[in-house]
Chain A
Amino acid sequence: EIVLTQSPGTLSLSPGERASLSCRASQSVSSSYLAWYQQKPGQAPRLLIYGASSRATGIPDRFSGSGSGTDFTLTISRLEPEDFAVYYCQQYGSSPLTFGGGTKVEIK
């Protein structure tokens, strides 16, 4: 099973700042089959990015994904108040599907 390690565990930033979230895989993720989700308290996860870099429908362009192989990054170019949440990566290139442990982006 592919283990995904997300870092940092918590990111403390101010609105308007840039956020860079890391997702590192224990082995190569085939064909960049990596997705990112946002989850706010009491809500279901929301798809942001699939295929490592493709934005899901309705996702603002301040969200971008990059990376390949074992190292992936989610970047939020300028944090808006509604972006403070927990972010999860998920690989879907190997069975079983696995998720990272999450990065919490909190207001500094």
Chain B
Amino acid sequence: EVQLVESGGGLVQPGGSLRLSCAASGFTVSTNYMSWVRQAPGKGLEWVSVINSDSTTYYTDSVKGRFTISRDNSKNTLYLQMNSLRAEDTAVYYCARAPYSYGPYYFDHWGQGTLVTVSS
């Protein structure tokens, strides 16, 4: 059974940093596209970043240069390093798996989410 469990969220001041983790089981993170998707309070879904099977990464424009997606194959875990955080980064962050390691992708499994609050 595929499972994704996020951790690492919390309250951080503007300009601060946080690292989110997503522990995967039931599959290998290195063989699928893996993404972070966020949802601001009361708002819709926003794709944030993706890492593919050859470790190529992509980001939405608003987080480029501030966020870094990575994975540790030995721990079967996905990460999101978030620096220079802003109030508008406040959201629930979901880890999501694409069913493929190539081509256009959607998300067939999601974690339960971890809340990041950026406030002084």
Contact = CB atoms under 8 A, between A and B. Distances in A.
Interface in A69-108: 88, 90, 92-93, 95-102
Interface residues of A, number: 25
Contact of B106 (A35, A43, A100): A35
Interface string B89-120: 00000100000000011111111110000000
Interface stretch (A10-18, A19-27, A44-52): A44-52
Contacts of A92: 104-106
B47 A97 contact: yes
A101 B44 contact: yes
Given A44-B94, A44-B113, A45-B94, A99 B108 contact: no
Interface of A: 30-31, 33, 35, 37, 43-47, 50, 56-57, 88, 90, 92-93, 95-102
